[in-house]
Amino acid sequence: MNYARTALLLAGLTALFVGAGFLLGGEAGMAIALLFAIGMNAFAYWNADKMVLRMYGAREVDRRSAPDLVGMVEQLAHNAGLPMPKVYVVDSDQPNAFATGRNPENAAVAATTGLLRRLSHEEVAGVMAHELAHVRNRDTLIMTITATIAGALGMLANFALFFGGNRNNPLGLIGTLLVMFLAPVAAALVQMAISRTREYEADRVGAEICGRPLWLASALEKLERGAGAIDNDQAEANPATAHMFIVNPLHARSVDGLFSTHPNTANRVQRLREMAGAGRAQSGPWG
């Protein structure tokens, strides 16, 4: 169901983009917008992971510099049937983590120093399993595509604002105004809906990878409290990357509604506890 919903949302986002291009420039405008989006997606496909890691000042670690973390990720990756990803540490007191990379063969997982200090070994394992679930599900690529299309829609809206768009489109001035004001909002809503859907799925698969849903549930509760009390200056300066983190790194708290990039933490914890109560994912490599 989650995969079907994600596919429908991606299709809707693509249709929204193509429709906006048509309303602004007719068939020629639609073709130009599509070519521009393809170019942006190609650039993001090859470079988004490097840009994000550089943005957060992430430093790569190995068995000599972080033996416990790297060994843990290696064991979890093996359990998930994944190649060993690169492992990074971000110098931030806020406990949080994210994954990036265009595919499992070119993936990276990153944890903040605050996460490594504040969480137990088992809770860190739950978080890293969640991030590896994103890698296995190819969520990093999905979110790159949605962010790129959403960004392209924002550029189309700016074009309509400054140049007026194509008044001869079937909807006339109304069509231009729709692109100018509503298309970016609709794109953001779709992007957030996809992000929330993928987080729930990564929780489920991550719990199966580590074998203990309650480890991830406990970690999420600590992460939620930490993220609400401790600033993440890099994330606040780059809010478009907030959806990458396991919990919202921004201080603008929101409920599990239209404008939230992450599901409500209490809802996520409840689902994980239900998994544990049903006896699912209880025999992982850490048990």
- Residue 60 is among the residues annotated as catalytic for this protein: no
Alpha helix stretches (DSSP H) within the chain: 2-55, 67-80, 113-118, 121-136, 139-163, 172-177, 183-210, 213-229, 233-237, 265-277
Contact criterion met (CB below 8 Å) for 149 and 125: no
Q: Which of 80, 78, 128 is nearest to 108 (CA)?
A: 128
Distance (Å, rounded) from C-alpha 93 to C-alpha 135? 25
Distance (Å, rounded) from C-alpha 239 to C-alpha 17? 22
Q: Determine phi and psi for 66, rounding to 5 degrees.
A: -145, 70
Task: Write down the catalytic residue from 105, 122, 131, 236.
Answer: 131
Looking at the annotation, which residues are catalytic? 131
